[in-house]
Amino acid sequence: MTTASPIVALRMASKTYGRGNARVEALKSATVSIQPGEFAAIVGASGSGKSTMLNLLGCLDVPCSGSCLLAGVETASLAVDQRSRLRRDTIGFVFQGYQLLERMDAWRNVELPLIYRGVPPPERGRRVERALDAVGLIDRARHRPGAMSGGQQQRIAIARAIVSEPPLLIADEPTGAVDAATGDDIIDVFHTLNRTQNTTVVLVTHDERIAHRCGRMIRLVDGRIVSDTPTDARRDAG
């Protein structure tokens, strides 16, 4: 552990859904701290609280109790609009089902985050090109998502997440919908970004093999963090 300030950290964070008998405690007093440049995997069975934790880390949601610090800011204290801005400025998201907009080709999908950030067109073009190049799909720029394989779509989604050059990448089951070989390719892309751009990556997976390829593995069981350990990948890299 370094002493640098974490890019995102949970302290005694809990999240509860529902009321009365339907009350579900999805996350119980989780404390975790992600340093800049880390590559962490959150693993656990379905219903273990992985997605809840990811939503908190990704500032899509705020904890019911405890705290969540994103880039040093307490997310629960922010208004919706401020939270949107903080998220926009610090995080790139990759989702399980790619979540590309079908009506637009790859180029326009990747371009969208820059439009929302008010980047002017010439600069936009350069950055879209760089992002598509980074995921090796510059030749597919004018294809629509429907005309691409699952692996290609996920790489477009990654390009979209990194185009705004966020310090933190959050990925929810990025390999969940593709076969093992394609899954490895996707993890390779994350590794490259992590190593060359020093992008912090936090991903959720239920695939132990994938998790072992990340530098750090946080295991959740029934809403609690039961282990938080460096992996072989990290020891190798270190």
Interface residues toward another protein, by CB under 8 A: 55, 60-61, 80-81, 84-85, 87-88, 92-93, 95, 97, 99-101, 103-104, 112-113, 115-121, 124, 160-161, 164
Least gap, CB of 223 to another protein (angstroms): 17
Q: Which is nearer to another protein, 60 or 71 (CB)?
A: 60
Q: Which is nearer to another protein, 50 or 124 (CB)?
A: 124
Secondary structure of 42-57 as H, E, C letters: EECCCCCCHHHHHHHH
Instruction: Round to whole Å and give the CA distance between 127 and 166.
Output: 13
Q: Which is nearer to another protein, 146 or 238 (CB)?
A: 146
Q: Which is nearer to another protein, 77 or 227 (CB)?
A: 77
Instruction: Round to whole Å and give the CA distance between 68 and 202.
Output: 15
Q: Which is nearer to another protein, 125 or 230 (CB)?
A: 125
Least gap, CB of 6 to another protein (angstroms): 22
Least gap, CB of 162 to another protein (angstroms): 11
Instruction: Give how far the C-alpha of residue 135 lies from the chain's centroid of Cα atoms, to the nearest Å.
Output: 16
Least gap, CB of 121 to another protein (angstroms): 7
Least gap, CB of 172 to another protein (angstroms): 9
The residue type at 125: G
Least gap, CB of 88 to another protein (angstroms): 4
Q: Which is nearer to another protein, 116 or 227 (CB)?
A: 116
Q: What are phi and psi of 213, to 5 degrees?
A: -80, -10
Instruction: Round to whole Å and give the CA distance between 181 and 204.
Output: 18
Long-range pairs of 46-50 with CB within 8 A, sequence gap ≥ 24: 46/206, 48/220, 48/221, 48/222, 48/223, 49/15, 49/220, 49/222, 49/223, 49/224, 50/204, 50/206, 50/220
Instruction: Round to whole Å and give the CA distance between 4 and 230.
Output: 18
Q: Which is nearer to another protein, 5 or 84 (CB)?
A: 84
Helices (H), the chain: 50-57, 80-90, 106-116, 121-134, 150-162, 180-196, 208-212, 232-237
- Do the bridges between strand 200-205 and strand 39-43 make them parallel or antiparallel, or are there none, so unpaired? parallel
Least gap, CB of 26 to another protein (angstroms): 12
